[in-house]
Amino acid sequence: MVYEPAPPHLTLLARNPKKSYDFSMYPLSSRMENAKPSFVREILKVANRKDIISFAGGLPDPSLFDLEGIKEATQTALSKAPQAALQYGPTDGYIGFKEQVAKVMQTRDVPSLNLEQMLITTGSQQGIDLISKIMLDPNDVVLVERPAYLAAVQVFELYQANLMGIEQDANGIQIEDVERAILECKKAGKRPKFLYTVSTFGNPSGSTLTLDRRQALLEIAVREQLLIVEDDPYSELRFAGENIPPLYALTKDVAGSSEYVVYMSTLSKFVAPGLRLGWMLVPSGLMQPLTIVKQAADLHSSSFAQYVAAAYLETGRLEAQLPKIRAKYGEKGQAMIRALEQTIPKGILEFNAPSGGMFLWVKMAEGVDTMQLSSKAIEQNVIFVPGVGFFPDTKRTNYLRLSFATPSIEQIEEGVKRFARAVLD
């Protein structure tokens, strides 16, 4: 995003999205009429200023990268199969990496899986794009969480979908609201193409769908032939409470439901985002269309990265690394909550303490505009993401997202002081 000199993100947000470009010179496609740069990434530009403390990004703490292990894995990959690691590979991914992903999935209650129903992607972001490409025509309905992951919303909007929000609480999306949305669609003669959910440690909500709701959702999926796209980037980052199996793992308990869950995950949050490696686990009927659009998109994801990642996962070092990662994010999350409680009087902010992930989702009083608060915060040299962008189908101005993943504990404490000054100003 170096195209233009970093604009203050507020300017960008204030822009009329319909006028993002000059269409007079180039006859762009109609999907670009509403396209705008992700405002999170625009805020991240400000984040590069040395004096800024950022609660905005979802970047993993780089001190948690297992550098030694990855260096070693790189050597192994380039010694064992150098030519294959540097050559073109199969569209659906390198089998050796797939096998390692299957082992990761064992720790997520998926004891075995069919590697022919796994597609390796360039991060799970690409999974969102590919499933949209095979499913969405303009005006198709996609059900999303309220609030929803911003970069997914961006993709769905590029496919000119109609987004319909499902209310969410600390226990994830509300099942009765899923029913309500489906009914509304039926009345309009529509069938939702899929429901997209970050089921565990949601972004931005931090909330996790309960086991009961998971089962209920799978039953709805079967009954309504509703495809569920489960995005699961954060489940390795649990620092409190008990694991809850992903929807994908629970399909074994609900007859027929395995045909209706597409699962996506990534190495980005617990190995390294720079590898840009994710995976999709898909019903057999969707594998061929997905492989076709993947091939058209980039032939396949980096063989080099896949061989290195496979070699890394083979070392078993991750087992020792994960507890460190979880402990660190747990500490940071607690530090942020403690600092907020110490600096801001009760009743001004409302949030649930997350059991994992990277985010604290904060509600303020009705009428508060967190976009305006963001400007004040930037004056105090601290940034966060105003909530408005996470609500594609409603306008809620009084939410904001704080990430505790990237800054150090000292920075969290100092950043919260600055944030408090902006809030209490």
d(CA 281, CA 291): 12
**Contact flag: residue 34 with a second copy (CB under 8 A):** no
> Which of 104-112, 163-171, 302-310, 327-335 is the region at the interface with a second copy (rule: CB under 8 A)?
302-310
> Would you give the end-to-end CA distance of the chain in angstroms?
33
Nearer to a second copy, 137 or 242 (CB): 137
CB of 166 to a second copy, least distance (A): 20
Cα 391 from chain centroid? 15
**Contact flag: residue 222 with a second copy (CB under 8 A):** no
> What is the torsion angle, in degrees rounded to the nearest 10, for the CA atoms of residue 129, residue 133, residue 138 and residue 141?
-70
Beta strands in 62-125 (DSSP E): 118-121
d(CA 336, CA 343): 11
**Contact flag: residue 158 with a second copy (CB under 8 A):** yes
**Contact flag: residue 308 with a second copy (CB under 8 A):** yes
3-state secondary structure of 127: helix
What would the x/- binding string for a second copy be over residues 185 to 214, using CB under 8 A? ------x-x---------------------
Nearer to a second copy, 35 or 216 (CB): 35
d(CA 419, CA 425): 10
Among 29, 51, 139, 367, binds a second copy (CB under 8 A): 29
d(CA 335, CA 402): 12
Among 6, 95, 113, 170, binds a second copy (CB under 8 A): 95
* Binding residues among 277-296 for a second copy as defined by CB under 8 A: 284-289, 291-293, 295-296
> Which of 132-140, 178-186, 366-374, 393-401 is the region at the interface with a second copy (rule: CB under 8 A)?
132-140
Helices (H), 139-283: 150-158, 175-187, 211-224, 247-250
What does the block give as tokens for 62?
């780089």
CB of 384 to a second copy, least distance (A): 18
Q: Are 49 and 379 in contact (CB under 8 A)?
A: no
d(CA 332, CA 5): 33
**Contact flag: residue 26 with a second copy (CB under 8 A):** yes
CB of 157 to a second copy, least distance (A): 9
**Contact flag: residue 80 with a second copy (CB under 8 A):** no
Nearer to a second copy, 5 or 367 (CB): 5
Nearer to a second copy, 209 or 277 (CB): 277
* Binding residues among 310-349 for a second copy as defined by CB under 8 A: none
* Binding residues among 348-377 for a second copy as defined by CB under 8 A: none
**Contact flag: residue 215 with a second copy (CB under 8 A):** no
d(CA 280, CA 287): 10
Number of residues that bind a second copy (CB under 8 A): 96
**Contact flag: residue 112 with a second copy (CB under 8 A):** no
What does the block give as tokens for 116?
């022919």
**For residue 399, which phi and psi values (nearest 5 degrees)?**
-120, 160
Element at 198 (helix H, strand E): strand 194-198
Nearer to a second copy, 8 or 37 (CB): 37
Cβ of 138: how many Cβ atoms within 10 Å? Answer: 10
Q: Are 267 and 309 in contact (CB under 8 A)?
A: yes
Among 268, 355, 397, 403, binds a second copy (CB under 8 A): 268
CB of 60 to a second copy, least distance (A): 7
The 3 state secondary structure assigned to 17-42 is: HHHCCCCCCCCCCHHHHHCCCCHHHH
DSSP state of 63: G
Among 8, 90, 344, 417, binds a second copy (CB under 8 A): 90
CB of 235 to a second copy, least distance (A): 19
Nearer to a second copy, 44 or 378 (CB): 44
**Contact flag: residue 242 with a second copy (CB under 8 A):** no
Degrees (nearest 5) of the Cα angle 243, 244, 246?
A: 125
Nearer to a second copy, 172 or 192 (CB): 192
Residue with tokens 């972004």: 203
Among 39, 304, 359, 399, binds a second copy (CB under 8 A): 304
**Contact flag: residue 11 with a second copy (CB under 8 A):** no
* Binding residues among 40-59 for a second copy as defined by CB under 8 A: 41, 57, 59
